[in-house]
Chains A and B, each alone.
Chain A
C-alpha cells in the first residue's frame, strides 16, 4: 500500500482566488495522476505525469495546471477559482506494472 498525502482535505474559497492543491507520495512512484470527481461520483482523469518534468493532460479538459519538479510532489494549481471548479480532487500514484493508489482527496468548494 502506498502512502499518499493530500492537503488540504477541505477548502472553501471565494471566486477568483488562486489555489494550490498539494499531493505527495513517499513510495518513489514515477507515475502520478489527478482525478476530478463530480457530484454524480464519476471520476475523470485531468492530469498525469510519467516522472520529473513530465506532465500531460488527461481525458477531461481542465483549467488547472500541474507541475512535477520532484518525484514525490505533484501539485495542482487553479489560477482563478470559479464555482464550476467545485468538486472532489483525487491524487494517485503507481509503479509498474499496474496498481494505482489514491490519496484521501481534497473537497473543494468555490463560492
Chain B
C-alpha cells in the first residue's frame, strides 16, 4: 500500500513571493504518477501539475514547478510569484501505473494562504 505525507498543515506567503510545499510518499512500485491538486474555497478540485516517475525532468506549468527526487521519494511543489488566487488547500497524490483503476492516494493537504 502507498502512503502520502504532507508535513505542513498550513503555510502562508506574501503576494509575489515564492513558496514550496512538501510531499513525501512511500511505495515499492517503480512506475507511478504524482500529482498536485488545488482546492480553492469553492471546493472544486483542480489539477495543478503532473509528474511521471520515469521522467527525470521536473514538470513545470507556468508559475508552478516540482522538485521530484525519486530516490528520496519526495515531490515538492514550488509556486513562484504567488498570487491571491493561489490561496487554497493543496493536495499531493500518488497513482500506481497499471491497467487497473488508476486509484489516487491523497496526502492530508496543506492549507496555503497568500497575503497581500
Task: Specify which of A45, A97, A101 is in contact with B47 (CB 8 Å cutoff).
Answer: A101
- Chain A: interface residue count, which band? 20 to 34
Q: Taking the nearest CB of chain B, how far is it from the CB of A29, in angstroms?
A: 10
Chain A residues near B116 (CB-CB < 8 A) = none
Report if B103 contacts A (CB, 8 A): yes
Task: Specify which of A37, A48, A107 is in contact with B101 (CB 8 Å cutoff).
Answer: A48
Task: Specify which of B44, B47, B89, B99 is in contact with A41 (CB 8 Å cutoff).
Answer: B89
Quick check: A90 and B45 within 8 Å, CB to CB?
yes
Chain B 72-106 residues near chain A, CB threshold 8 A: 89, 91, 95, 97, 99, 101-104, 106
Task: Specify which of B44, B47, B97, B106 is in contact with A99 (CB 8 Å cutoff).
Answer: B47
Report if A13 contacts B (CB, 8 A): no
Closest to A2 in B: B47
Report if B16 contacts A (CB, 8 A): no
Interface of A is mostly: strand
Quick check: B43 and A107 within 8 Å, CB to CB?
yes
Quick check: B104 and A45 within 8 Å, CB to CB?
yes
Chain A residues near B95 (CB-CB < 8 A) = 98, 100
Q: Taking the nearest CB of chain B, how far is it from the CB of A104, in angstroms?
A: 5
Report if B64 contacts A (CB, 8 A): no
Report if A56 contacts B (CB, 8 A): yes
Quick check: A45 and B43 within 8 Å, CB to CB?
no
Quick check: B102 and A102 within 8 Å, CB to CB?
no
Quick check: B43 and A88 within 8 Å, CB to CB?
yes
Task: Specify which of B43, B91, B102, B106 is in contact with A31 (CB 8 Å cutoff).
Answer: B102
Given A98-B97, A99-B47, decide whether A41 and B108 contact each other with a Cβ distance below 8 A.
yes
Residues of A bordering B, CB below 8 Å: 31, 33, 37, 40-43, 45, 48, 50, 56, 88, 90, 92, 94, 96-105, 107
